[in-house]
Structure 1
Amino acid sequence: MKLIVLSDTHLKNGVIPQQLQTLLNECDLIVHAGDFNTVKAYNAFNASGKLKAVSGNDDASELKKLLPERLKFEVEGVKIGVVHEGGLSVNDTTAQGYLAKEMDVDILIFGHLHRPLIEKRDVVLVCPGSPTKPRMSNPSVVELIIEKGSINGRIITLEGDTCDYIKFRDSLEKRKQEKNRNKKRA
């Protein structure tokens, strides 16, 4: 079964970018770890009828009433937990690991960080980043393939605006390359 995992879409207008919509059309299940932003955005993702989702800290009050803060379900014998805020760091996933144990899941999907992560240890921790509002990363989602209890995941980088940090980092790299070319010419 193919899952597309995403979070932190923050779509006020409810319009899903075309590249993302194509991925959603091709999957078996959509898992959203919160921060749709509006009911209109939630409805756009839920239109396919294959959405599992939790509310996020930036969701409209109607969504917070409609969606749980935590969700647990099973796919082909694999227990999956979903929360929005699993911890505050992508560099130290101790809190997320403990939460996965507390929820008794094999995979913990969480959002809020806007940066992608797949960490495999005794549990699989997945933060899909954000397809529309990334932080210190490119726009992204995670594809999970679950077959006969086996879990394979990959981060999919999407087209779209990168965050200012990435733009700055890339401009520094470009300047460094230009300096090296100029040194070689001299």
Structure 2
Amino acid sequence: MKIFVMSDIHGSIYYLEKALECFKREEADYILILGDILYHGPRNPLPRDYNPKLVAEKLNLYKDKIIATRGNCDSEVDQMLLEFPIMSDFTNLFLGGKRIFATHGHLFTEEKFPIGKGDILISGHTHLPLAEKEDIYIFNPGSIALPKGGNPNSYGILTSSSWDIKDLDGQTLKSILY
């Protein structure tokens, strides 16, 4: 199984469409969205082609493929537009014998997470791509729409044995095997 992971769309139809092209190119089975889907948030600049309503409409076409968590910019009003659930602060997945705790990252962080040694924490929120191994694996796909730290717009690919972070051209930025 292959899971396409993205975070921090922030209402950009331009970058969502780019991400969905990547999802198709990657031939992934599911899309895991780590929050901050429609609203840009008061601390962020407006992303390119900001259109939350169109983002919702486009994502609804993939509702049977989407697993999502709530970000700090997501609200009940957003849920009214989306045809897949987004109001959970986290979700647990199991892949390749590993427990995956997926969250946005504003409530559960590297310092505060309910998983054990060898498990995987995936979060967004920081807009910074990350692939690390400590007692647990810590992954962040970066941001699809508003990357920080001089990083390119990016997404993650999760399989039963690897985590890759790629830019929108499909070039691998970071990779880790587990």
Pairing partner for 1:140 from 154, 160, 171: 154
Pairing partner for 2:69 from 42, 50, 54: 54
- Counterparts of 2:92 and 2:73, CA distance in 1: 21
Q: In structure 2, give the amino acid aligned to 1:2.
A: K
Unaligned runs of 5+ in 2: 39-51, 170-178
- Counterparts of 1:39 and 1:68, CA distance in 2: 21
Relative to 1, partners in 2 of residues 1:111 and 1:63: Cα closer, same or farther, differing over 3 Å?
A: same
SS of the residue corresponding to residue 16 of structure 1 reads: helix
- Counterparts of 2:75 and 2:30, CA distance in 1: 24
Q: Which has the higher helix share?
A: 1
Deviation at 1:53, TM superposition (A): 0.7
- Counterparts of 1:4 and 1:96, CA distance in 2: 21
- Counterparts of 2:56 and 2:95, CA distance in 1: 22
Relative to 1, partners in 2 of residues 1:47 and 1:117: Cα closer, same or farther, differing over 3 Å?
A: same
User: Which residue of 2 is the match for residue 6 of structure 1?
Assistant: 6
User: Which residue of 2 is the match for residue 106 of structure 1?
Assistant: 119
Q: How many residues align?
A: 146
Does the 8 Å contact 1:86/1:99 carry over to 2?
no
Unaligned runs of 5+ in 1: 88-94, 160-186
Does the 8 Å contact 1:39/1:62 carry over to 2?
no
1:122 matched to 2:122? The reply is no
Does the 8 Å contact 1:83/1:110 carry over to 2?
yes
Q: Runs of 4+ in structure 1 displaced over 6 angstroms?
A: none
Relative to 1, partners in 2 of residues 1:77 and 1:69: Cα closer, same or farther, differing over 3 Å?
A: same
User: Which residue of 1 is the match for residue 144 of structure 2?
Assistant: 131
TM-score by length of 1: 0.67
- Counterparts of 2:131 and 2:78, CA distance in 1: 27
Q: In structure 2, give the amino acid aligned to 1:27.
A: A
Q: In structure 2, give the amino acid aligned to 1:140.
A: S
Q: Percent identity?
A: 27
User: Which residue of 2 is the match for residue 41 of structure 1?
Assistant: 55
Does the 8 Å contact 1:74/1:80 carry over to 2?
yes
Asked which structure has the greater CA Rg, the reply is 1
- Counterparts of 1:50 and 1:5, CA distance in 2: 12
1:29 matched to 2:30? The reply is yes
Q: In structure 2, give the amino acid aligned to 1:23.
A: C
Deviation at 1:86, TM superposition (A): 5.0
- Counterparts of 1:142 and 1:155, CA distance in 2: 4
CA RMSD between the two structures: 2.6
Relative to 1, partners in 2 of residues 1:13 and 1:82: Cα closer, same or farther, differing over 3 Å?
A: same
> 1:69-93: CA deviations, max 9, x gaps?
1111222432111111257xxxxxx
Relative to 1, partners in 2 of residues 1:13 and 1:143: Cα closer, same or farther, differing over 3 Å?
A: closer
